[in-house]
Amino acid sequence: MLHDLKIKPSYFNFVRAGVKKAEFRLNDRDFKEGDLLKLCEWLEDANGYTGEFIIAKITHITDVSEWKTGYVVLSIQILQDSLCVNCNERYCGNCTYAHGAKVQ
């Protein structure tokens, strides 16, 4: 299952850099290992999406409801990024890649 989730730029950039490998979330979507998260960068002040996203797979779920009722920690692995994997530009058009996936 694919879950669309908002994520603030400061957290988004750490996920993109591979430093942040877990998400602390309310388990209001019945997350399961193997589910996909579409982490969409969200500018709270502008009340809108930037268009940047990361697709990540849930590799492990830790129930932390003992400390925060209804919450889980989702361990994640990045599968796709909205940046071109070849030249690190968004919507590049200068190579055979776009949005982190090969253009056919």
Q: Under CATH, to which class is 2-102 assigned?
A: mainly beta
Is the pLDDT confidence value at 101 over 60? no
For 63-75, the pLDDT digits (tens) are: 999 999 999 999 9
Q: What is the residue whose two structure tokens read 């750490």?
A: 14
Across 32-40, average pLDDT: 96
The rounded distance, in Å, linking the Cα atoms of 83 and 52 is 8
Domain positions in the chain are: 2-102
Burial degree of 96 (CB within 10 A; 0-12, 13-18, 19+): exposed
pLDDT value of position 89: 60
Across 41-52, average pLDDT: 85
91 or 6: whose pLDDT is higher? 6
3-state secondary structure of 92: coil
Is pTM beyond 0.85 here? no
For 49-100, the pLDDT digits (tens) are: 888 889 999 999 999 999 999 999 999 999 988 776 566 566 455 555 444 4
Q: 101-102 and 97-98 as β-strands: parallel, antiparallel, unpaired? A: antiparallel
